[in-house]
Amino acid sequence: MNVKTKLIAAVTVAALGYFVDIYDLLLFSIVRVASLQDLGLSGQQLTNTGILLLDIQMAGMLIGGIAWGILGDKKGRLSVLFGSILMYSIANVANGFVTSVTQYAIWRFIAGLGLAGELGAGITLVAELMPREKRGFATTLVASVGISGAVVAYLVSDFFHWRTSFFIGGGLGLALLLLRIGVAESGMFDHAKKTVGNRGDFFGLFRSRKNLLKYLRCILIGMPLWYVVGILVTLSPEFGRLLGVRGDISGGQAIAWCYGGMTLGDIASGLLSQALRSRLKVVYTFLGIAVASIGIYFFLTPQSLGAFYLLCGLLGFSVGYWVIFMTIATEQFGTNIRATVTTTAPNFARGALVPSTILFHLVTQWTGSMVTGGLTVGVLLLALAFWATLGMKETFHKDLDYVEELN
């Protein structure tokens, strides 16, 4: 198999794997109300139970991120890529059979465990196979194809019952496993496997202040995305009523618009990074757009449904630097710990939604205002993201074939 064929196979599987990953990840938010109503919940229960299940899913991703990341550096990128796809596909199918909130919680946790591994393994594999000057194009393709899975999830849920939508997602993932033939392991990993004994040492990231800060900054720059998706857009029906939007906002349609914008943002941020030959300039640009769009959301709220959905698209675009965030995480560390970082960083960023929602609820209770709660969390996370970016080193031209010192 020639190098070009290996690259095409790796990018294809990583992109489609992330597509199904995002489909499953966001499908619950899209069908949250309908599925919980079918399970007998109503009123405030829909919001509280929905947030609880989302937090359980994110907790699974947090735990799974560590486990899959370590396995990725010890056993290989491919074993994690396909193992995680198998796990979340089975969980997706099982979600279609749930008859109680308890069952729903168990399978969302297992789905979270599976969803934690695919993207990190895929991005790591693609980055290590691609020439350094073209890494941005490859990771952009993976992320943009993957993010569009949320739009497809909305369209599928609009045409099919929520249970059938889960079955379709699981079926897509299981079908994807048939494409595993032709995908080759990273040469950098194969070399490290033979020569480096200390691989996948997660706690090694905490032994030096330098590595700890570098790792923490990787996580912080990705946290605004999940604030936008998990709080502002997922709870847009509730926010919309408080902010004076006329008509009933569809949570699923808001998420579809958000992820449509995010797809465009991922493409734009990846191409802009290649044009500017910089990762960090793009992060600054998109964080600035995020500040503006969140300001519009709270202070200049569109009153019509159509304009509000467009704003959800702008919010999605503003945090569409996820591909750059993932690429930065991959480029920050050596081959012996790269999969661990690339897999755990996005899952800690996703998992940060749990303390973010806790803070959101606390501020909401203290002030009696859901709007104040949402705005407070947003200001804090954006400030942390700017601080993190200020301390990062540019990695656009970085050679990835090296081993990280973890002592």
Do residues 349 and 226 lie in contact, with contact meaning Cβ atoms separated by under 8 Å? yes
Q: Is the pLDDT of residue 2 over 80?
A: no
Confidence (pTM): 0.84
- Which two tokens mark 223? 């946290």
More confident residue, 122 or 239: 239
Q: Which residue has the higher pLDDT, 252 or 116?
A: 116
In this predicted structure, the answer to whether residue 334 has a pLDDT above a threshold of 60 is yes
State phi, psi for 99 to the nearest 5 degrees: -125, 5
Confidence check: pLDDT of 1 > 60: no
On the question of pLDDT at 74 being above 80, the answer is: yes
Domains of the chain: 3-184+202-390 (1.20.1250.20)
> What does the mean pLDDT of the chain come to?
89
| Helix 338-351 with 209-220: angle, nearest 10 deg | 50
Q: What are phi and psi of 110, to 5 degrees?
A: -65, -40
Among 65, 113, 63, which Cα is nearest to 89's? 113
pLDDT at 340: 92
Mean of the pLDDT values across residues 141-162?
86
User: What integer pLDDT is reported at residue 134 of this predicted model?
Assistant: 81
CA 386, distance to chain mean position in Å, is 19
Lowest mean pLDDT among 69-78, 104-113, 183-192, 200-209: 183-192
CB distance 223 to 349 below 8 Å: yes
Confidence of residue 123 (pLDDT cuts 50, 70, 90): confident
Q: What is the mean pLDDT of residues 353-358?
A: 88
Percent of the chain past pLDDT 70, that is, above it, reads: 98
Reported as a pLDDT band with limits 50, 70 and 90, residue 48 is confident
Residues with Cβ within 8 Å of 405's Cβ and at least 6 positions away in sequence, in order, are: 334
pLDDT of residue 281: 96
CA distances from 147 to 57, 151, 246, 298, 344 (A): 18, 8, 29, 25, 19
Count, residues in the chain: 407
Structure-token pair, residue 230: 């998990």
Q: Where are the alpha helices (DSSP H) in 39-148?
A: 44-74, 77-95, 101-129, 135-147
pLDDT band at residue 180 under the 50/70/90 scheme: low
Query: Around Cβ 324, how many Cβ atoms within 10 Å?
Result: 29
Is 193 a residue whose pLDDT tops 80? no
What is the structure's pLDDT at 394?
92
* Structure tokens belonging to residue 91: 């969980």
- Can you spell out the DSSP letters for 245-311? -SSPPPHHHHHHHHHHHHHHHHHHHHHHHHHHT-SHHHHHHHHHHHHHHHHHHHHS--SSHHHHHHH
Please compute Rg for the chain using Cα positions: 20
Q: What's the pLDDT at 68? A: 93
Cα–Cα distance, 382 to 386 (Å, whole number): 6
Top-confidence residue, 40 or 294: 294
Compute the average pLDDT of residues 271-283. 94
pLDDT for 255 equals 83
The kind and range of the H/E element at 217 are helix 209-220
- Tell me what pLDDT residue 3 has: 64
CA pair distance 92, 105, nearest whole angstrom: 12
Exposure on the CB side of residue 407, measured as CA atoms within 13 A = 2
Task: State how far the Cα of 97 lies from the Cα of 229, in Å rounded to an integer.
Answer: 26
